[in-house]
Amino acid sequence: MAVAETPLEIPRYWVEFDNPDDPAERFRCDLTWLTSSWTCIFGNGCQGIYETAPDVGCCTLGAHFSGKEDLANVKAAVKQLGPDEWQYHDVGHGKGGWREKEDGDWKTRVVDGACIFHNRPGFPAGAGCALHQHAGANGVEPHTIKPDVCWQLPIRRTFRTVELADETSYLEISIGEYDRRGWGPGGHDLDW
């Protein structure tokens, strides 16, 4: 039985506090969502974001890199992945590579309808993220080798500069739910 999706506009409790490591930053955290019982159900009934690809969750789009360090972390991990743990190993090391540009930004390449690192059902090493599986098999924290967006979902960080009346400013880092709006204009059309 499907659970009804929570409306986007509900009353929420927020907490704000200064970043103890940087007084020019302030965190704004959505306590309503962060303390909820929500959990990602990938591999446990996730319907994916497209009805036509329920087995690949939100991996259908590939993963956009957050910056040079993010790209470098994945690049180092790619060198460690073997064909026994990565279904698209040969494709990723072939002419097209494992990354591509979209709107001027690097992201993981999409192959056969999903991220190149997403092993499909039936692959001997198991379905799911080859990077995540590699991390688990080698005692490495997955967030150190996966694209940032992959381990941050469903948490969304947004940044904005807040200008105060005294002409000072600070960087506000909001931490909350990666809801449909976070996916951009097409987010409202996702099939989940």
pLDDT reported for residue 153: 72
Do 178 and 32 form a contact (C-beta atoms < 8 A)?
no
Q: Rounded to the nearest 10 degrees, what angle do helices 130-137 and 68-80 cross at?
A: 70
Instruction: Return the residue matching tokens 């591509």.
Output: 100
Report how far residue 159's alpha carbon sits from residue 105's, in angstroms, rounded to the nearest whole number: 18
Task: Name beta bridge partners: 110.
Answer: 115
d(CA 64, CA 150): 9
Give the three-state DSSP class for 115.
strand
Structure-token pair, residue 4:
């009804």
Residue 150 has a pLDDT of 83
pLDDT of residue 156: 83
Structure tokens at 89: 């190993």
| pLDDT at residue 97 in the model | 95
What's the pTM? 0.77
Longest Cα pair distance anywhere in the chain, in angstroms? 61
Res 37: pLDDT: 80
Contacts of 8-14 spanning 24+ positions with Cβ under 8 A: 8/179, 8/180, 8/181
pLDDT of residue 41: 66
Q: What phi and psi, each to the nearest 5 degrees, are found at residue 109?
A: -70, 145
Residue numbers in the chain where pLDDT is lower than 70: 1-4, 40-45, 188, 190-192
Q: Cβ distance 134 to 146 under 8 Å?
A: no
Domain ranges of the chain: 22-35+55-182
Please report which residue ranges of 53-157 form alpha helices under DSSP H. Answer: 68-80, 89-92, 130-137, 148-152
Pairwise CA distance, residues 120 & 31, whole Å: 35
Whole-angstrom Cα distance, residue 48 to residue 60? Answer: 8
